[in-house]
Amino acid sequence: MGNLSAYSSVVSGIVRKDLAVEWRSRQLLASMLVFALLVILIFNFALDLDAAARSELSAGVLWATFALAGTLGLSRSMASEKDGGALDGLLLAPVDRSAIYLGKTLANTIFMLIVALFTLPVYGILYNVDLLNGGLLLVIVIGAWGYSAIGTLLAAMAMQARSREVLLPVLLFPLLLPLLIAAVRASGFFLEDLEVVYIWPSLNLLIVYAAVMPALGFMFFDFIVEE
Amino acid sequence: MAPDSLQFKPRLLSVLDMSSVVLMLVATWMVFFYAPSAQAEAGGETQRIFYFHVSTGWISMAAFVGAAVAGTAYLIRPSQRLDVFSVAAVEIGLVYSFINITTGSIWARPVWNTWWTWDPRLVTATVMELTFLAYLLLRQGIEDPERRARFGAIYAILGSLTVPLTYLSIRIWRTIHPVVIGSGDPTAQGTFDMTAQMLHTLLFSLLAFTIFGLTLLWHRVRLGWMADKVERLRMQAMR
């Protein structure tokens, strides 16, 4: 048990570090939030979201917004790690590297959830849609976790390439598609108040994805950061 | 492989070159003259595209899985040759899966009355193609060969998850894509029952495309090794 508590203290240390850095600068969240709002505005004009279209498209618009704003956060959080030399320091520390991965993933999940927490009421007010739905929130929590799990891994990879911010979405979106499909379907079904029997298949895919991706991250993170 | 095999083309490779040509010609002949035409709902004469469609589809999946296996082996024991093999497999898989998607689209025009529809099978196949295109982009962005190989291996393994997803998509989701091998969804459009001659033609096309793919793979791997050798010689000359 001593090992486990040491491990979790490393993980929580990294989460607290990321949150503290963000609390001081507020750079990352501010740009993510503004960007998310802009995406919603663009969708409004691009899709002509009238009352009838809204109820069907809300799930898709929300997830597209999260996915786009998420890449912003992912590449920023890894880039600041690398530019500030913090990553080298972390790697020198005698801790399990998977703990670093888990910490970064948790921190990114929290950022995603904060963005969702602001986006949902704003979207709800602007478009007069009721988004206070337990199922939807559940899908967002699982989805944000799966998104961050694969995103953190690929961001660590993209940061070491030449065109880093450009490369991340190209690497991320194809692999993200199963998650997005499942999340959009499940959210849509919850918003339409369908019976749980119809929601389970999408929810299953979402849960499997959110379980498999962190496992792969645990296996591969070590290979990605090694020098 | 002996070092001089890079200077001289191996005999077996020449044999494979010739066999690929012959096999592909025979496969084309079988598709047009040996296999009977299918019933009208399956596209009639258009259905003949099915043999190359399925063959290229399967082999592209095999190539992507091969790249992931080579990637796994690379992570366990790094070697330049495994990396070259991985890239070669991905490139061939990309070409094959592009042929697969294109032929499918040509068949779908008369049968489904559209070039393209957002069906689960079509989406997963496209995602598979895009994933491995991203693999090539990733490699292009990294200069250090050792790191490029390592990242490539990891991305190939992650990307190979799209292969079972594509394979199973017509079996787990409701789709209009026919499942000719095994039982299909009743909502599928354009399904047909295979006769013995059709099966022969399919298996022969599969063989022809497999041999052709292996020949291409060998050529591509040789090319990669030559490029490595040139790189090494250049480094030596600069020293």
| Chain B residue with Cα closest to A215 | B158
Q: What is the pLDDT at residue B182?
A: 59
**Which position has the higher pLDDT, B22 or A91?**
B22
Give the number of A-B residue pairs with CB atoms closer than 8 Å. 56
Burial pattern A29-67, b for ≥16 Cβ within 10 A else e, equals beebbebbbebbeebeeeeebeeeebeebbbbbbbbbbb
Contact: B165, A178; criterion CB under 8 Å: yes
Residue B68 phi, psi dihedral angles, 5° rounding: -70, -40
- Answer whether residue B17 is part of any domain: no
CA angle B135, B105, B62 (to 5 degrees): 40
| Chain A residue with Cα closest to B129 | A174
pLDDT in tens, B71-93: 999 999 999 889 999 999 999 99
Q: What is the pLDDT at residue A159?
A: 86
Number of domains observed in the structure of chain B: 1
Three-class secondary structure assignment of chain B: CCHHHHCCCCHHHHHHHHHHHHHHHHHHHHHHHHCCCCCHHHCHHHHHHHHHHHHHHHHHHHHHHHHHHHHHHHHHCCCHHHHHHHHHHHHHHHHHHHHHHHHHHHHHHHHCCCCCCCCHHHHHHHHHHHHHHHHHHHHHCCCCHHHHHHHHHHHHHHHCCHHHHHHHHHHHCCCCCCCCCCCCCCCCCCCCCCCHHHHHHHHHHHHHHHHHHHHHHHHHHHHHHHHHHHHHHHHHHHC
Residues 6+ apart with CB under 8 A from B13: B215, B218, B219, B222
Q: To the nearest whole percent, how much of chain A has pLDDT over 90?
A: 33
Q: What is the pLDDT at residue B188?
A: 67
- Answer whether residue B144 is part of any domain: yes
By Cβ distance, the residue of A161, A174, A223 closest to B154 is A223
Token pair recorded at residue A144: 């944000």
By Cβ distance, the residue of B75, B134, B147 closest to A160 is B147
pLDDT in tens, A205-214: 899 999 999 9
CA distances from A100 to A89, A182, B46, B154 (A): 11, 28, 55, 18
Contact: B147, A220; criterion CB under 8 Å: no
pLDDT less than 70: residues of chain B: 1-5, 181-190
Coil/strand/helix, residue A148: helix
Polymer length in residues for chain A: 227
Coil/strand/helix, residue A21: helix
CA distances from B10 to B5, B88, B218, B222 (A): 6, 18, 10, 10
| Chain B residue with Cα closest to A165 | B141
CB B228 within 8 Å of CB B80: yes
Q: Which structural domain range is residue B207 located in?
A: 43-226
pLDDT in tens, B27-67: 999 989 888 887 777 777 888 888 999 999 999 999 999 99
- Answer whether residue B24 is part of any domain: no
- Answer whether residue B22 is part of any domain: no
Q: How far is B104 from chain A (nearest CA, A)?
A: 21
- Answer whether residue B87 is part of any domain: yes
pLDDT in tens, A53-63: 676 788 888 99
Contact: A224, B161; criterion CB under 8 Å: no
| Chain A residue with Cα closest to B125 | A174
Task: Identify the burial level of B136 via C-beta atoms within 10 angstroms of its C-beta, where 0-12 means exposed, 13-18 middle and 19 or more buried.
Answer: middle
Contact: B141, A177; criterion CB under 8 Å: no
By Cβ distance, the residue of B141, B154, B161 closest to A162 is B141
- Answer whether residue B138 is part of any domain: yes
Contact: B137, A167; criterion CB under 8 Å: yes
Contact: B158, A162; criterion CB under 8 Å: no
- Answer whether residue B235 is part of any domain: no
Q: Share the mean pLDDT of chain B.
A: 87
Q: What is the ipTM of this complex?
A: 0.86
CB A131 within 8 Å of CB A39: no
Helix axes A51-83, A27-47, angle to 10 degrees: 150
Contacts of B139-142 with CB under 8 Å at 24 or more apart are B139/B87, B141/A158, B141/A161, B141/A162, B141/A163, B141/A164, B141/A167, B142/A160, B142/A161, B142/A162
Among A223, A224, A227, pick the best mutation site for testing chain B contact (most B Cβ within 10 A). Answer: A223
Q: How far is B156 from chain A (nearest CA, A)?
A: 11
| Chain B residue with Cα closest to A157 | B151
Q: How far is B231 from chain A (nearest CA, A)?
A: 21
Token pair recorded at residue B19: 């066999």
CA distances from B176 to A47, A61, B111, B182 (A): 28, 26, 11, 15
By Cβ distance, the residue of A161, A164, A216 closest to B158 is A216
CA angle B6, B155, A181 (to 5 degrees): 140
Q: How far is A201 from chain B (nearest CA, A)?
A: 10
Contact: B162, A174; criterion CB under 8 Å: yes
Q: What is the pLDDT at residue A46?
A: 81
Measured between beta carbons, which residues in chain B are less than 8 angstroms from residue A177?
123, 127
CB B63 within 8 Å of CB B163: no
One-letter amino acid of B220: R
pLDDT for A147 beyond 50: yes
Nearest to A170 by CA among B161, B86, B137, B159: B137
Rounded Cα–Cα distance for residues A152 and A214 (Å): 10
Task: For chain A, positions 129-168, list CB contacts with chain B under 8 A.
Answer: 150, 157-158, 160-164, 167
Q: How far is B151 from chain A (nearest CA, A)?
A: 7
pLDDT for A1 beyond 70: no
Chain B within 8 Å of A171 (Cβ-Cβ)? Answer: yes
Rounded Cα–Cα distance for residues A34 and A29 (Å): 8
Q: How far is B4 from chain A (nearest CA, A)?
A: 34
Contact: B157, A223; criterion CB under 8 Å: no
Among A101, A177, A209, A224, pick the best mutation site for testing chain B contact (most B Cβ within 10 A). Answer: A177
pLDDT in tens, A8-45: 888 888 889 888 888 888 888 888 899 999 998 888 88
Q: Give the mean pLDDT of A136-165.
A: 90
- Answer whether residue B13 is part of any domain: no
Whether this model's pTM surpasses 0.90: no
CA distances from A195 to A133, A188, A198 (A): 14, 12, 6
Contact: B131, A174; criterion CB under 8 Å: yes
Q: Give the mean pLDDT of A129-154.
A: 90
Q: To the nearest whole percent, how much of chain A has pLDDT over 70?
A: 96
CA distances from A205 to A67, A118, A144, A147, A212 (A): 18, 27, 14, 13, 10
